[in-house]
C-alpha cells in the first residue's frame, strides 16, 4: 500500500488483512495491513454504511483477509500507530475473502515486542518455540518480513557479484554415495535397495567443476550436518553459499574474490535495505555493521599474539575455541574498528586433510576463516590439487583411501591450483543484523529437536 495524501478523495479497492478491529458506538475502527504497511480504516453509520454493516465489520476476526472499497481521506493529526500516517480509509463496502479462526496461537504485537518492554504493564512477549511452532503467523510480523526480504537480498547480491566476476553457477547433488569427509555427522538416506548420504557440503563437486575447466564456480543450496549441537548458531540443515575458483599465482586471489564479494553484499544491504535493517533494529537493537575496504586480513600468529596479550593461554597449533573467537572479534573491533575480517594461515593440524600446507612452513596451511562480529561465517582454503600429495595427506589423517578414491581420482587428469570456501547464509544474516539466534534467520529451521513445521 502506497496510500498517501496524493490519493486523497479517491475511491479505491484494496485487499488486506484485518490487523486490529475496535467497535465504538456507531463506528468501527480497523487497522488494515499489507506486509509491513498498515493504515487506519473506518466504517461509520451514515449514507454509505448501515448499522448492520458496522456490526458485520466489528465481527471480522483479526488476521482475516478482506476486500474493501473505500474513500481515501487526509487526516489532520498524524496516525502514529500506522505506517501510513497521513490518510485514513472511509470504508463503503467490505467483503471477507478468507476468515481467520477467532483464537490466534500468538498475537503479532506480542511477537514484535522488544524483550523486557512493557513488562510492568504485564504485556507478553512470545518465546521462540511458540513463534517457530506457529511460523505462518510469526512470519507475518514486520520483523520477520524484514529479515527474510533482507535474506533474499543477500542471495541476490552474492550471485550478481560473482556473475559479474565471471563465475558460473552450478547445481550439485545432495544425495551422495560416500561421505567424503570421513563419515562423521552425516545423515543416512535409504536409496532403493542400498543406502546413501546427504551432502555435508558441495565441496567435492565444486572441485570437480574446477577440474572440469569451469574455472570459477558458485552454488547456493542446502547442506546437511547430523551434528547433535543445540546452540544458537548450529542448524542441521542450512543454506550454503559456496565458491570455488582456479587461481594463477597465489591463493590470496581467492581470498580477495571472496572478501570483495562480502563487501559488495554489505554495501548492497546498507544502500538498499535500510528500511528492513531499521525495522529489525526496533525489536532487536544493534550497532550498525562495520567493514573496511580492503578487508582486514590477519595471520593466525598475529591473532594469537593479540589473544596472549589479553591473557589467553593457548598453544601455537591449537584451534580457536568459540569464546576465544568472540574475544578476538572484540579485540579486532577495538583495534581496527571492523566487524568483518579474515584470519589466514591456520595451523595445518586443525584443518581437513585436503587443505594445502603452507609451502614455507609445514606447521601452517594456506587456509582461512572469515568472521562477522566475532563469529565464523566462512571456512576455506587452497585445496591440494595433486593426487599424490592428497593421498599422503589422507593417509596422515588415517582416512580410508578406498572411500575417497573417486575424490582423489578427480585430480589425476590435470587440475589447476584452486581454492574456495563455504558461507552460511543464515549466519551472515544473523550477524549482519546483530541477532543472537540463527533460528531467527532460517524460515523453517531444523535442529536436533526441531523437524516441524
Q: Return the residue of 135, 165, 267, 270 that touches its own copies, per CB under 8 A.
A: 135
Distance CA 453, CA 440 (A): 14
Binding segment for its own copies (CB under 8 A), chosen from 63-71, 267-275, 304-312, 372-380, is 63-71
Find the catalytic residue in 63, 244, 376, 426. 376
Task: Using DSSP, state whether 180 is helix, strand or coil.
Answer: coil
Query: 280, 165 in Cβ contact below 8 A?
Result: no
Query: 355, 367 in Cβ contact below 8 A?
Result: yes
Binding mask 176-205 vs its own copies (x if CB under 8 A, - otherwise)?
xx---------xxxxxx-x-x-x------x
| CA 36 to centroid of chain Cα atoms | 19
Q: Does 412 bind its own copies (CB under 8 A)?
A: yes
Q: Please confirm, yes or no, whether 427 is among the known catalytic residues.
A: yes
Query: 26, 49 in Cβ contact below 8 A?
Result: no
C-alpha cell at 217: 564456480
Distance CA 369, CA 348 (A): 13
Q: Return the residue of 45, 79, 100, 408 that touches its own copies, per CB under 8 A.
A: 100
Binding segment for its own copies (CB under 8 A), chosen from 136-144, 333-341, 356-364, 431-439, is 136-144
Binding segment for its own copies (CB under 8 A), chosen from 141-149, 266-274, 320-328, 431-439, is 141-149
Which helix (H) or strand (E) is 157 found in, with range?
A: helix 142-164
Q: Minimal distance in Å, beta carbon 302 to its own copies?
A: 31
Q: Please confirm, yes or no, whether 234 is among the known catalytic residues.
A: yes
Q: Please confirm, yes or no, whether 225 is among the known catalytic residues.
A: yes
What are the residues whose beta carbons fall under 8 Å from the beta carbon of 55, sequence distance 6 or more? Answer: 23
Q: Which of residues 204-263 bind its own copies (CB under 8 A)?
A: 205, 208-209, 211-215, 220-222, 224, 226, 228, 236-237, 239, 248
Find the catalytic residue in 233, 351, 385, 418. 233
Q: Minimal distance in Å, beta carbon 235 to its own copies?
A: 10
Distance CA 418, CA 207 (A): 8
C-alpha cell at 375: 563469529
Query: 303, 328 in Cβ contact below 8 A?
Result: yes
Residue with smaller CB distance to its own copies, 138 or 344? 138
Q: Please confirm, yes or no, whether 152 is among the known catalytic residues.
A: no
Beta strands at 27-34 and 37-44: parallel, antiparallel or unpaired: antiparallel
Q: Which of residues 371-390 bind its own copies (CB under 8 A)?
A: 385-386
Q: Which of residues 6-45 bind its own copies (CB under 8 A)?
A: 15, 17, 34-35
CB atoms within 10 A of CB 311: 7
Q: Return the residue of 21, 84, 143, 144 that touches its own copies, per CB under 8 A.
A: 144
Find the catalytic residue in 69, 109, 227, 299. 227
Q: Which residues are catalytic?
A: 225, 227, 233-234, 376, 379, 427
Amino acid at each position: 500500500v502506497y496510500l498517501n495524501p496524493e490519493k486523497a478523495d479517491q475511491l479505491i479497492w484494496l485487499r488486506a488483512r484485518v490487523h486490529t478491529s475496535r467497535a465504538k458506538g456507531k463506528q468501527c475502527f480497523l487497522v488494515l495491513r499489507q506486509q509491513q504497511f498498515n493504515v487506519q480504516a473506518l466504517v461509520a453509520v451514515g449514507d454509505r454504511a448501515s448499522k448492520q454493516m458496522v456490526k458485520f465489520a466489528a465481527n471480522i476476526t483479526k488476521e482475516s483477509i478482506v476486500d474493501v472499497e473505500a474513500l481515501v481521506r487526509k487526516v489532520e493529526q498524524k496516525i502514529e500507530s500506522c505506517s501510513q500516517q497521513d490518510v485514513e480509509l472511509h470504508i463503503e463496502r467490505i467483503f471477507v475473502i478468507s476468515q481467520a479462526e477467532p483464537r490466534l496461537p500468538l498475537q503479532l504485537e506480542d511477537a514484535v515486542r522488544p524483550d523486557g518492554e512493557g513488562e510492568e504493564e504485564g504485556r507478553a512477549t512470545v518465546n521462540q518455540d511458540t513463534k517457530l511452532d506457529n511460523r505462518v503467523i510469526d512470519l507475518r510480523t514486520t520483523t520477520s518480513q524484514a529479515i527474510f526480504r533482507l535474506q533474499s537480498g543477500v542471495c541476490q547480491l552474492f550471485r550478481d557479484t560473482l556473475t559479474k566476476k565471471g563465475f558460473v553457477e552450478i547445481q550439485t547433488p545432495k544425495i551422495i554415495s560416500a561421505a567424503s569427509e570421513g563419515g562423521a555427522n552425516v545423515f543416512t538416506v535409504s536409496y532403493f535397495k542400498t543406502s546413501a548420504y546427504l551432502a555435508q557440503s558441495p565441496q567435492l563437486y565444486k572441485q570437480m567443476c574446477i577440474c572440469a575447466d569451469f574455472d570459477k564456480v558458485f552454488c547456493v543450496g542446502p547442506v546437511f550436518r547430523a551434528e547433535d549441537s543445540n546452540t544458537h548458531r548450529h542448524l542441521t540443515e542450512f543454506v550454503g553459499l559456496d565458491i570455488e575458483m582456479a587461481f594463477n599465482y597465489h591463493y590470496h586471489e581467492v581470498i580477495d574474490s571472496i572478501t570483495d564479494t562480502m563487501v559488495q553484499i554489505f554495501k548492497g544491504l546498507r544502500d538498499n535495505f535500510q528500511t528492513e535493517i531499521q525495522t529489525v533494529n526496533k525489536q532487536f537493537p544493534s550497532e550498525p555493521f562495520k567493514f573496511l575496504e580492503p578487508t582486514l586480513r590477519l595471520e593466525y600468529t598475529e591473532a594469537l599474539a593479540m589473544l596472549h596479550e589479553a591473557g589467553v593461554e593457548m598453544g601455537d597449533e591449537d584451534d580457536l575455541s568459540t569464546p576465544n573467537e568472540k574475544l578476538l572479534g572484540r579485540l579486532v573491533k577495538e583495534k581496527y574498528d571492523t566487524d568483518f575480517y579474515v584470519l589466514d594461515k591456520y595451523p595445518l593440524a586443525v584443518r581437513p586433510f585436503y587443505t594445502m600446507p603452507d609451502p614455507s612452513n609445514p606447521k601452517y596451511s594456506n587456509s582461512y576463516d572469515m568472521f562477522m562480529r566475532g563469529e565464523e561465517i566462512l571456512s576455506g582454503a587452497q585445496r591440494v590439487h595433486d593426487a599424490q600429495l592428497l593421498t599422503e595427506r589422507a593417509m596422515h589423517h588415517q582416512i580410508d583411501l578406498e572411500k575417497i578414491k573417486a575424490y582423489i581420482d578427480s585430480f589425476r587428469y590435470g587440475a589447476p591450483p584452486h581454492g574456495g570456501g563455504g558461507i552460511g547464509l543464515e549466519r551472515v544474516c544473523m550477524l549482519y543484523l546483530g541477532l543472537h539466534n540463527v533460528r531467527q534467520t532460517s524460515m523453517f529451521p531444523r535442529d536436533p529437536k526441531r523437524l516441524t513445521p
